[in-house]
């Protein structure tokens, strides 16, 4: 039996958690107004490439002339998008997707992402990788102002803040929301006319930009671009808000931080070894960790074992 610990849940009772990491959701976004790429299909294969980051639930939301359609369910990507559910999402010009491990909130369908909400500016869809440390206080403040929540996840707190500020320009709304958030987040946000990528001020969670034909693509890891046949352009800067719309790309600097602080576990455990994060190849980082371990802990060994699978590069 695995060792079990008790960690206070942010919104509910205390609940037992296995001693394993549950921080590594995966997000995907694509904007393609000219029809050269089918966004729903690209999102499917993008989420498939990110499946290692979340195996509890998966979802895709698509923007088309009629608004935002979406499908999400519990399970792996191929299980969620079967029986024609992906076909029903085809025909749009933008899409975002999410694969989930729970960080706050139970593993329930109501907590699956992307979240789709209505605001003063119309419908908005959002997917989030990360964990807010002030989600509870923000939620209580919003509830005191009359907000109603349908989930127990901190992602809905972010969505509610953006909706609250949505009378402003969407970039202003996102910037004002960032000023209230504390913690880690990589976001993809979709409105009726754009897809936005947002990275937290310290760059704790990764978010990369790529291109597929004429479409701009956001993804948690660069390995996605190889899977969908695209090309990696660059990582978003810490605190950057990057907008893809019919006019191309436009970058805004949101919150500033004195220094960056990418989560070490991206290199150690979360990311696929064929991804590059902030200019560093994950496989090579793990190799160097293994080299340093060998030099600092010299032993006469017959076998070097990799535990878990992400340690293969270091073991080699």
Per residue in 106-156, pLDDT (tens digit) is 677 889 999 999 888 789 999 999 999 999 999 999 999 988 999 999 999
Choose, from 14, 20, 25, 32, the residue flagged as catalytic.
25
pLDDT exceeds 80 at position 2: no
pTM over 0.85: yes
Render pLDDT for 170-209 as a digit per residue (tens, 0 to 9). Answer: 999 999 999 999 999 999 999 999 999 999 999 999 999 9
**261-287 average pLDDT score:** 95
Count of all residues that appear for the chain in the document: 316
**239-267 average pLDDT score:** 93
Question: What pLDDT shows up at residue 255?
Answer: 83
25 is catalytic: yes
Return the DSSP state at 269. I
Q: Residue 166 — φ and ψ, nearest 5°? A: -75, -5
Q: How far apart are the first and last CA of the chain?
A: 29
Taking Cα atoms as reference points, which of 272, 276, 278 lies closest to residue 237? 278
Taking Cα atoms as reference points, which of 75, 79, 84, 128 lies closest to residue 103? 128
Question: What pLDDT shows up at residue 245?
Answer: 96
Tokens 């996605």 found at: 224
Q: For a pLDDT cut of 90, what percent of the chain falls above it? A: 78
Of residues 237 and 13, which shows the higher confidence score? 237
Taking Cα atoms as reference points, which of 129, 179, 121 lies closest to residue 154? 129
Helices within the chain (DSSP H only) = 39-49, 77-80, 135-144, 154-164, 170-178, 223-227, 264-265, 282-296, 312-315
Write down the mean pLDDT value for the chain.
89
Strands (E), 101-237: 115-119, 122-132, 183-190, 194-199, 208-212, 215-219, 231-235
């Amino acid at each position: 039996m695995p060792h079990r610990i008790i960690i206070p849940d942010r919104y509910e009772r205390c609940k037992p958690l296995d001693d394993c990491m549950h921080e590594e959701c995966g997000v995907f976004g694509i904007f393609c107004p000219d029809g050269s790429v089918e966004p729903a299909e690209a999102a499917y294969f993008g989420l498939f490439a990110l499946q290692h980051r979340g195996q509890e639930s998966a979802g895709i939301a698509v923007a088309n002339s009629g608004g935002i359609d979406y499908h999400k369910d519990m399970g792996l990507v191929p299980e969620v998008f079967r029986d024609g559910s992906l076909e029903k999402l085809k025909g749009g010009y933008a899409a975002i997707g999410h694969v989930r491990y729970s960080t706050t909130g139970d593993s329930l369908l109501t907590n699956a992402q992307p979240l789709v909400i209505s605001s003063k500016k119309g419908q908005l869809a959002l997917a989030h990788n990360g964990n807010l440390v002030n989600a509870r206080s923000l939620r209580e403040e919003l509830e005191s102002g009359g907000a109603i929540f349908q989930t127990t996840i901190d992602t809905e707190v972010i969505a509610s803040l953006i909706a609250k500020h949505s009378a402003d320009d969407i970039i202003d709304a996102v910037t004002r929301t960032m000023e209230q958030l504390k913690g880690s987040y990589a976001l993809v946000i979709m409105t009726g006319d754009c897809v936005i990528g947002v990275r937290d001020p310290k760059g704790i969670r990764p978010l990369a930009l790529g291109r597929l034909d004429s479409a701009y693509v956001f993804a948690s890891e660069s390995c996605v671009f190889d899977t969908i046949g695209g090309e990696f352009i660059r990582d978003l800067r810490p605190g950057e808000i990057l907008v893809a719309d019919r006019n191309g790309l436009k970058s805004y600097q949101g919150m500033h931080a004195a220094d960056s602080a990418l989560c070490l576990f991206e290199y150690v455990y979360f990311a696929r070894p064929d991804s590059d994060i902030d200019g560093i190849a994950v496989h090579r980082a793990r190799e160097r960790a293994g080299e340093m371990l060998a030099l600092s802990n010299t032993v006469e060994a017959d076998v070097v074992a990799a535990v878990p699978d992400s340690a293969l590069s270091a073991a080699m």
